[in-house]
Amino acid sequence: MPSLPRPLTAPIELDGRTLEGGGQLLRLALSLSSLTFAPVHITHIRANRASPNARKPGGGLKPAHLAAAEWLARATGAETQGMEKGSSVLVFKPLVQQQTRKGELDWEDCGRREGGGGGGGGGGGGAPPDGLYLKKGVEAVRFERVWEDEYDEGDKLVRRTSRIALSSPGSVCLILQAVLPYLLFSLPRMAAAHSQNPKSSNSDVSVPLRVLIDGGTNVSKSPSIEYVSQVLVPMLAEKVGLPPITVEIIKRGWSSGRADVGCVAFELTPLPRGYKLPTFAFSNRGDIAKMHVSILAPDAHTRRSLKDKVVARLLEFLPDVQILFPVEEDTGNSRRTYILIVAESVCGFRLGRDFLCENKINSTTTDIIARRVVREL
């Protein structure tokens, strides 16, 4: 069994104003911290993000950032400070797991106990709260379960399911960015830590995971679910060597028009213990063979107008290209128009460009959108 990472005694100090000074530093830091057990101390979180209200300071944790951070904290048993909306400082210390002499982790499943109390104040003597504990000397460090196990008729574990809840249309895809490395690369014992019967789980067997994320699927200044499913996911699987990821839109969520919270289910199988990614290079992409055009518009007339104008623009550049339309939907809202064009090369590389229009559009606007997206692609 490979040894676990050596714990760091002091948190890694990170300044959130580095480079773009947005949420990407936070997401990347939490991902790596969760995988390596290295504690992090992040200051000036999203300090370069201006607030739309000039009277309020920009930056700080938003609900979508909190949703990802809180889920990773529960999954890793992390100790945290500053985990609240608007906080500009976050300390994240994942629990460093210790192995017993037998090479297994020493778990105690406290289960659900009547009258257990929530572990809040009060004198001793009460039963511990529902959860799973990793014995660490004389103390027991608590993990909150994030996975629900699903078994077949033969009592074989076939899938684990978890949900990341969000009550506002923050970007589902940015939450995915924060948790995906952990889902793919975390040691199998971490998944076992949250099962109903961890001692009976085979930590060397990768169990399929299904993660439901609430939030927005088409959100301003964020990758859309179409981009993720048509560009990111295929490229990760076909060119990087990661496992395939299934994307299911259960309900769309929008930041434009009337704010609407949606839900997306992602299914994947984690990489096995000891797996090494093959080398890859994004070069020699080859000629463009296909164009995939996805259009979401208020009504059929607007969709048809956009479709005709995009096709005309694409054929000006590539007269012989094949044009496909994987997504055509009515949004039912005059302030919800979205278009994604994906160029696929003969070598299987995909390049995408999209545009989300949050204002009402007319015939002139559709022409501007078509010209802009095709030109930028």
**Length in residues, the chain:** 377
- Range from 50-54, 121-125, 181-185 that averages highest in pLDDT: 181-185
Strand ranges in the chain using DSSP code E only, listed in sequence order? 12-15, 40-43, 79-81, 90-93, 107-109, 132-136, 139-143, 148-151, 157-164, 209-215, 246-251, 262-268, 288-297, 322-330, 337-345, 350-357
Q: What is the model's pLDDT at position 118?
A: 36
Banded model confidence at residue 231, pLDDT cuts 50, 70, 90: very high
Q: Write the single-letter amino acid at 303.
A: R
Q: Which two tokens stand for residue 24?
A: 């990407």
Residue 112's CB is within 10 A of a number of other CB atoms, namely 9
- Nearest to 229, CA basis, from 255, 266, 194: 266
Tell whether the model's pLDDT for residue 224 goes beyond 90: yes
Instruction: Kindly report whether the global pTM for this prediction surpasses the value 0.85.
Output: no
Tell whether the model's pLDDT for residue 137 goes beyond 50: no
Q: Tell me the per-residue pLDDT of 238-285, one tens digit each, with 9 for 90 and over.
A: 999 999 999 999 999 999 988 899 999 999 999 988 888 888 888 888
What DSSP line would sit under 20-84, residue for residue? T-SHHHHHHHHHHHHHH---EEEESTTTT---SSTTS---S--HHHHHHHHHHHHHHT-EEE--S
Residue 301's CB is within 10 A of a number of other CB atoms, namely 11
Q: What is the model's pLDDT at position 200?
A: 43
Give Cα 28 to chain centroid, integer Å. 11
Q: Tell me the per-residue pLDDT of 140-154, one tens digit each, with 9 for 90 and over.
A: 445 567 899 999 988
Q: What is the model's pLDDT at position 85?
A: 94
When pLDDT is averaged across residues 212-216 and rounded to a whole number, the result is 98
Tell whether the model's pLDDT for residue 222 goes beyond 80: yes
When pLDDT is averaged across residues 336-349 and rounded to a whole number, the result is 96
Identify the residue with better confidence: 227 or 3: 227
